[in-house]
Structure 1
Amino acid sequence: MNMDLIYTLVEVLIAISCCLGNILVILAVWISKSLKQPTFCLIMSLAVADFLVGCVAIPLAVIVDARVRTSFHTCLFITIAVDRYFRVVFLYRYKRTVTQRHSWLAVAVCWLVAIPLSFAPMLGWYNHETLSNSVNSTIVCQFITVIPMSYLVYFNFFLCTLAPLLVMTVLYGFVFCTIRGNLREKPGNNFQKQSQNYLKKEKQLAGSLSLVLALFALSWLPLHIMNCVAYFGKENAVPQEAVHVGIVLSHANSAVNPVIYAFKIEKIKTAYLKIWRQYVTCGEENQGSQTSQETDSNLARNVNAGSNE
């Protein structure tokens, strides 16, 4: 089978998984009262971004055979990491300071920051050589022919991905060190016991979110490293097949996140099951209840008929 066809089929499957899985996350956070917390507002916004990867970015990537990506994930990951940091370090002031309104404001800032960053090539950082060599201002639309590798390496990787990853690694390091230090202290009263139970839950949630961050790094770094090799090394140093694998791996990250939430975050898992029972099996339950009601009605009629006789 042709490699391009295999690549396209895999991308289509990933796109479908991105859309379905992240719609489930969005519904879970939207309808569940137990998920009306600042952190889950951020997770919902991340799910919206992953959904857009499936329905917009991947189809565009297939069309232009490109490395379509957005800096939004990095921005939001930083926000989540900072949220975990404040929630653990400033334990008693967090709930008064970080409200759901503040979380939605942080989400809005992430989207507003991502828009101008994503359109940096439109402001002049494009391949001027391709433009000068075009005939009648028309070209074969391919991402790598219009976007210079310098943009992908210096701006997209070094500035928008690598630097924030280092910041988030430090933040999560502080979070886990703080939690571990507090949990080593022996609780002397009920208030301290409650604080330790709180920190244990925070440690579990922080671990789940750090896993999401780690998979994000593992999914995106191979493609960025290949871009660096192509830019600093020899021309055509990276095979096109390897580039396709890197693109697929980066896109697959958006489909994996809903699965991680299901296995690692109990509240989201519970919300998934609630959606399943409410929207998927409700037809069977309603049919069963209607059958039961008809049986009861028939039994009542028979009893009344017997009493009349």
Structure 2
Amino acid sequence: MKKILIIGREGQLGSTLTEQAENIQWADFFHTTVDTLDLMDASAISNYFKDKNFDFIINCAAYTAVDRAETDTAPAWRLNAEAANELAAEAARMGAYFIHISTDYVFGGTHFQPLKPDDSKTPDSVYGKSKLQGELDVLQQQPQSIIIRTSWLYSIYGKNFLKTMLQLGRERDSLNVVFDQVGTPTLADDLANTILTIIEKVVTDKKEFIPGVYHFSNEGVCSWYDFTKAIFHETGISCKVTPVESDQFPTPAPRPYFSVMDKSKIKQTYDIEITHWQDSLRKCLRKL
């Protein structure tokens, strides 16, 4: 029986992976929280792994407070780069495959065509820079790693755009939402299922683990304005939504104006079918 470790149990993706793992019979799953593995402490990582062995390690942990990272730089670099580096080194030491989650923010805001994994990366936020460094360190420490970049993640767990809009839409008569930032929402359930599908193909179908950088989001394209309109349409919320430009909502960390991802690599390599974002939104709302 393969042993799989989920790091970052408390987050959206970690919670979803743990939920889905309950129905899996072909592997034993383990997970960490900040109480069992404090990634801010380098010695805690080596101590945690010194008497353990895993076949796969999925790193869902990250510093994701994008604006706060601009001033709270040390914790962001610690979690997104240094800890990722140390975790990948532990994976290499024990011969475990490493799956690491990254972000569209590594690209910055200069692109206008669907983002391919090898496109130029010019992050313009501390969050994006620290996540890019984490990617580079992971691949150097453990060449047998898969990095999956994703965007606009949401779920029934934690804080996210969907849940914020649901709350504001019920509290207010009108909202202003930016329409000039374009990407694709990603339901954590779909990303988790893809990760587990890849592992299952390697474990049970004996498919080769092909390391490298991949992209995953749901299918389709929308702006944050379009996403909000769809949320309210599906839930019957009558709040008026007005489209506005990003400069009306200045933030400490710049947001990518275009983060639509080219997902052909992950679809072709692992025969992954991806759901349209509107269908996944409906699925999430039913769970909520």
The answer to whether TM tops 0.5 is no
**Please, what TM-score do these two structures have when normalized by structure 1?**
0.27
Larger Rg: 1
Structure ranking higher in helix proportion: 1
Q: Which has the higher contact order (CA 8 A, sep 6+)?
A: 1
Relative to the length of structure 2, the TM-score reads 0.28
